[in-house]
Amino acid sequence: MDDSPRRRKEDLLPRPRVLAGDDVAKYLRTVVSTDAYLSLKALSTYAGLSVRRLRDCLHDRQCPLPCYRIGGKILIRKSDFDTWALHFRQDTDSITAVVDEIMQGLE
């Protein structure tokens, strides 16, 4: 007769890894850096714009900020905001050229 204990199916499966210390910080950085849905307050911190300004951008007629409304909560996907913000990018070279052209006209 075999005296060894019987192995259960659960004992053969790999156990989930428990995160601790630096592993937790690495995991959180990965989660935060993904394409998250942000509240207006969180987006305000990320973008450096006020919540009021962001609310105004939601209703802009020419280029509204895309959002999701879930039960009264407004959420904006981080990547959607980044794409939307590119519409307002100003190339410094073209601004410099315009200023130079104006200054030459004044001379």
| pLDDT class of 61 with cuts at 50, 70, 90 | very high
Q: What is the Cα–Cα distance from 41 to 62, expressed in whole angstroms?
A: 23
Contact 65, 58 (CB under 8 A): yes
Q: What is the Cα–Cα distance from 44 to 13, expressed in whole angstroms?
A: 45
Confidence (pLDDT) at 53: 97
Q: What is the set of domains in the chain, with CATH numbers?
A: 36-106 (1.10.1660.10)
Instruction: Please write the tens of the pLDDT for every residue from 8-48.
Output: 666 666 666 666 667 766 766 665 556 889 999 999 999 99
- Record the pTM: 0.56
Q: Which residue has the higher pLDDT, 105 or 81?
A: 81
